[in-house]
Structure 1
Amino acid sequence: MDPSALKWACWCFHIALEAALNCCVSMYRASSQTFSCCKSGSPAQASPSLMALLCPKEFQVKMESLQQRREELEHKEEQLKEAFFKFDKFLKENDAKRHRALHKASREQLQAAQSNVEAIRLRQEIAQLLRERDRLQRHLEANDIFRSYLQTVIEKTEQFQEIKEMIDRVRTLVATQAVLVQRELGSREQVEEEHARLQQYLEESNNKVLQCNNRLAELQTQLEQAQVQVHQSESKWTEIQTTAAKKTLELGQIKMAVLNLFQMATKQMKLQVDIPLEDTEAQLDTVRVLLCMTDLSDILADLRKGGPLPTPQTLPPATT
């Protein structure tokens, strides 16, 4: 049924129920008013036509029927109220059910849309998996020759029983090779580092050797200069020694000549002079004095011409 038509029917029933309830309430109020007037015994307040028509017994019966009618009306009023509340509750529950149904329908529509999207995605994935399966099947058929070759190798060798064992062995060897390659790379890096350190050490050593060679060249130059100076000094020293030897020889000759002259003079003059042999200056002074005295004697002899002058036997001490 259409929800709008159901809502319209419920609204019409609600209006009719309210009208019936209002009519029952009006009738109840009129009956209650008549019953109260009759019960109070006030004929003026009761209807004249009703009082004229009813006798006491009939009035009593009528009052009982009115009381019963009143109770029935009250019971119907309670039933109508209860029916009204039930119908209102029914409308609310129906509206809640309608909202839940709409929410469920929208959720189911969303789930259906999501299911359609998921179905499309799964169909695409299935198609992709089928293509991948076909590709792997072609790849397997193309590589079947290798399986046959490995099977032939296994049949000819006694080391392996299945192809998987051989493949596992190859994988183990490949992993071991990778580890060894990694170690080799590490060793190469260490060797390169050590080689770099060696190159640095050689460069530093070469620089130190070059500095030492430069220093050695400087020291060699200084040594050559010192040797030249020593040679010059030795030449000067040799020259000085030669000159000194000549001077010493001349001095010795002079001393010998002075000594000979001193001895000849003293011997000629027959004098006794106490002068050491090494005192050349005293000997020379003595010879000079003797020569002066000889010259004076010759002069006096020439002046006198008669006889020799007396010769002194002693000489004055020589002055140094």
Structure 2
Amino acid sequence: MFSKLGAKISSDQKKTRKTKPSLAGTDFLSSWTELQLRESEAEELKKKCAERKEYLEILERRIEDLKKENADIYKPEYSHEAFLKDKEAKVSLKRVKREMKGLREKEAKVERLKEEYAEMTARKETLLCEVQKHSVYKDFMAEVLKLTRFEDVDALTGYFESLLHFRDQLYQKENQVQEQVDQQRRVLLTLEDQHNLLFLQKNNQLAHLQTELDRVRAEALIWDRRWSHIQETAAKKTLELGLIKMATLNLYESTGGVVGPEGVDINDTERQLEQIKSFIKDQKDIMKQYQVILQRKTDEENREAKPQSEANDK
């Protein structure tokens, strides 16, 4: 049976060698590894099948022997009563019963082993088919080995495995870098959100300050107008003050006041006003005295004129 399977595998391998698929590094190496695993499993199954087959042959021979012994025990020349009378016959009968029981158990075990053998045979057929399916990769590796500097397929496979290991490490580093980039991107988005929020706050603050500036400018315009009015009023008051000083100075000079080192300073308006006030008071006193004198004269004239008028009347 195994020789037939081997011939079938070799013929299928010859058929599959005609087509050489082009695979990527990972698929090719995985197929090569799987092929080696399948071959090792097939070898183990061959050994197990041979052991089970040998064990089944032993069990079948033992079953045949037990059947013969059972047939000899139940032959017509032996009576049941004779066995009961004979002590050795009883022992033999018990032994036969035990062996019959063991025989039934062994038959059940044989059936179970047959089922396991059938399952293992089917498994072996499946593995052989998979080995046949992946044997093309072995041939392809042999062809590739001729084009490389490696001495055997294991060295080439180890080289591919190291390359895949380096690729996995680079992939892990790339994932780590990508995670860092994603983290930095999330940090950037957070900073942008904070910047936008701060920008909105500053815009609101700027709008508030602009409103306050407009209000202050309006108030400043009002105060500018008031200041202009105050300046105009101050100019008028200054002009009026100058006119008053000039008029006071003229009055002071007209009253006989002296301006200069010998008299009152030209800018000392208060003393000039006091001198004018004193002059006016003196003039009022003089006028009062003159009016009193004039009144006296008038009264005297009236008294003198009264007797003359009476005399004329008479």
Identical counterparts, % of pairs: 22
- For the 8 Å contact 1:262–1:287, the answer to whether it is kept is no
1:176 is matched with 166
- For the 8 Å contact 1:261–1:287, the answer to whether it is kept is no
- For the 8 Å contact 1:160–1:166, the answer to whether it is kept is yes
CA distance in 2, matches of 1:260, 1:100: 174
For the pair 1:162 / 2:152, whether they are aligned, the reply is: yes
1:150 is matched with 144
Aligned mate of 2:113, from 90, 96, 118: 118
2:213 is matched with 223
CA distance in 2, matches of 1:103, 1:207: 94
- Local SS of the residue matching 1:126: helix
Q: Which amino acid aligns with 1:153?
A: L
- For the 8 Å contact 2:255–2:279, the answer to whether it is kept is yes
2:178 is matched with 188
- With the length of structure 1 as denominator, give the TM-score of the two structures: 0.55
For the pair 1:282 / 2:288, whether they are aligned, the reply is: no
Structure 1 residue 183: Cα displacement: 1.6
Alpha-carbon spacing, 1:277–1:301, altered in 2? closer, same or farther (3 Å): farther
1:249 is matched with 239
1:107 is matched with 102
- For the 8 Å contact 1:258–1:283, the answer to whether it is kept is no
Q: Which amino acid aligns with 1:111?
A: K
- Local SS of the residue matching 1:160: coil
The runs of 5 or more residues in structure 2 that have no matched partner are 1-72, 299-314
Aligned mate of 1:128, from 123, 131, 137: 123
- For the 8 Å contact 1:262–1:284, the answer to whether it is kept is yes
Alpha-carbon spacing, 1:247–1:5, altered in 2? closer, same or farther (3 Å): same
- With the length of structure 2 as denominator, give the TM-score of the two structures: 0.56
CA distance in 2, matches of 1:285, 1:101: 174
Q: Which amino acid aligns with 1:116?
A: E
Structure 1 residue 118: Cα displacement: 1.4
CA distance in 1, matches of 2:218, 2:234: 23
Higher relative contact order, structure no. (Cα contacts within 8 Å, ≥ 6 residues apart) = 2
- For the 8 Å contact 2:145–2:151, the answer to whether it is kept is no
The runs of 5 or more residues in structure 1 that have no matched partner are 11-86, 306-320
Alpha-carbon spacing, 1:165–1:171, altered in 2? closer, same or farther (3 Å): same
Alpha-carbon spacing, 1:9–1:110, altered in 2? closer, same or farther (3 Å): closer
- Higher Rg: 1
Structure 1 residue 238: Cα displacement: 2.8
CA distance in 1, matches of 2:175, 2:222: 68
Alpha-carbon spacing, 1:144–1:176, altered in 2? closer, same or farther (3 Å): closer
Structure 1 residue 160: Cα displacement: 2.1
- For the 8 Å contact 1:262–1:283, the answer to whether it is kept is yes
Alpha-carbon spacing, 1:5–1:161, altered in 2? closer, same or farther (3 Å): closer
**Within 5 A, what are the aligned runs for 1:1-320?**
1=73, 5-6=80-81, 10=85, 90=87, 98-99=93-94, 101-140=96-135, 142-143=136-137, 146-147=140-141, 149-154=143-148, 159-266=149-256, 277-279=268-270, 281-283=273-275, 285-286=277-278, 288-289=280-281, 292=284
Q: What is the count of residue pairs matched by the alignment?
A: 217
